[in-house]
Amino acid sequence: MSERAFLEADAQRRATETIRALEGQTSAELVVSVRLAAERHVATSLVFGAGVAALALAVMLASPQVYDVRTMPLDALLAGVLAALACHFLAPLRRVLTPKRRRIEAARRRALGAFTELGVAKTKQRSGVLVFVALFERTAVVVADEGVPTALLGEAWSSHVAGLDERVRARDFDGFLTHLLGFGPVLAAVLPRRSDDENELADEVS
C-alpha cells in the first residue's frame, strides 16, 4: 500500500470516525496529524551530491582517458549538482540514504512542534494525546500530555505505540486504525469518560 493511502479523503474520514469512537470511551483527547515528511532532509541530498562529485573527479583523475584539466572541476561539480537534485526529487533514494536514526529524530522533533502548534496541551485536564505520522520517515510518534499517566498504562500502551509505528512503516492504514482504536480501553482504564466531558480538540486529521 502507498503512503498516499493515509492522505486520501476516505482515509481521513475513517480516521475521524475512529477518533470519535475512541473518545467515546475516555476523557482523553486524541489528535492525529499526518505529514508527508517531518523534514526535507536537505543534508542528505547535499552529502550525496558531494560524494558523487568527489567520485566523478577521482574517476577522471584515475582514468586512462585524457580529460581537460581545466574543465574537470566543472564536470565533477555538474555531476554533483545533478546527483543532489536527483536525491532531492526521488524520495525513495533520499529515504535509503538518510540514516534511520536521523529520520526518527526528525519525526520526534516535528511531533513536539506539532503538539504545541495544534494546541494539544490546552485541554482542561491536560489529557491530550498526539499521534504524529511522518510518511517519508515511515514512523509514528505518540506524544501524551502530562495528565495522561503513561507510566501506569504499562505494556498495553507500549504495545499500541509500537503497533502504530509498525503499521506506518508497513503502510498498512487498516492496521493503523486498529491500533489507534486500541488506545480507547487502555486510556479508559485511567481516564474514563465523564458525563461532563467536552470535545476540546478537533477530531479531523490535521
pLDDT per residue over 145-160, tens digit each?
998 888 778 888 899 8
| pLDDT for res 7 | 87
Residue 181 has pLDDT above 80, yes or no: yes
80-108: average pLDDT: 95
Which CATH code for domain 3-39+99-188?
Answer: 3.10.310.50
φ, ψ (nearest 5 deg) of residue 43: -60, -35
202 band by pLDDT with thresholds 50, 70 and 90: confident
Q: Which three cell numbers stand for residue 83?
A: 546527483
Give me the mean pLDDT over the 115-128 stretch: 92
- Mean pLDDT, residues 130-159 taken together: 91
Residue linked to cell 502548534:
117
**What's the pLDDT at 196?**
80
Strand order in the sheet with 29-35: 29-35, 128-134, 139-144
Q: What percent of the chain has pLDDT over 90?
A: 69
Question: In this model, does residue 1 exceed pLDDT 70?
Answer: no
Confidence of residue 201 (pLDDT cuts 50, 70, 90): confident
Q: How many helices (H) and strands (E) does the chain have?
A: 7, 3
Average pLDDT of span 98-116: 95
Domain ranges of the chain: 3-39+99-188, 42-97
Judge contact between 197 and 27, C-beta under 8 A. Answer: yes
Written as nine digits, the cell of 137 is 520517515
Quick check: 2 pLDDT over 90?
no
- pLDDT value of position 206: 86
Given this model, what pLDDT does residue 94 score? 95
| pLDDT above 80 (res 3) | no
